[in-house]
A = this chain, B = another copy of it.
Amino acid sequence: MSDGTFPFAIRQRVRFAETDMQGVVYYANYLVYAEVGRSALLRHLGIRRDALQKSGLDFAIGEASVRYHAPLRYDDEFDVRVRVAEVRGASWTLHYAVDRADGLRCADMTTIQVVFDPRLSKAVRIPDDVRAALQGGAR
């Protein structure tokens, strides 16, 4: 996966709070970094959870996975890169890379996000405007 395949990135800096006693970023915090990237991408694409909720829908993460390649440390700057990998009937897959500012690939991640009806606790078809926005972001 070259950087070129990620059309979207957001820069962050490792907080002291995010480290653990091994002196590196605690492994679960990479999913927080994924959320920061995902939120920024969806905001960029004009997909808003509050708008979805007004039509009685919500979304949630159905699956998440992380492969750790190199540790991040306190005060490191890094980029969370995100792209839309696939859009299906009720869900979409995002791919992420966490790259230290000097380019070192620290982690790869994947999430599957599902649109559901909270009253029915049931997955439902992605609304057309959200689908169009995601497909626009799937470059």
Contacts and interface: CB of A to CB of B under 8 A. Distances in A.
Interface stretch (A14-22, A92-100, A131-139): A14-22
Contact of A20 (B20, B58, B67, B71): B20
A44 to B, nearest CB: 13
A104 interface: no
A57 interface: no
A63 interface: yes
A5 interface: no
Interface stretch (A32-40, A81-89, A122-130): A32-40
Interface string A39-70: 10001000000000000001011111111100
A7 interface: no
A63 B66 contact: yes
Which of A15, A21, A36, A67 is most buried by chain B, counting CB atoms within 10 A of its CB? A21
Contacts of A67: 62-63
Contact of A17 (B20, B43, B60, B64): B20
A66 B34 CA distance: 14
Interface of A: 15-17, 19-24, 26-29, 31-32, 35-36, 39, 43, 58, 60-68, 71, 73-75
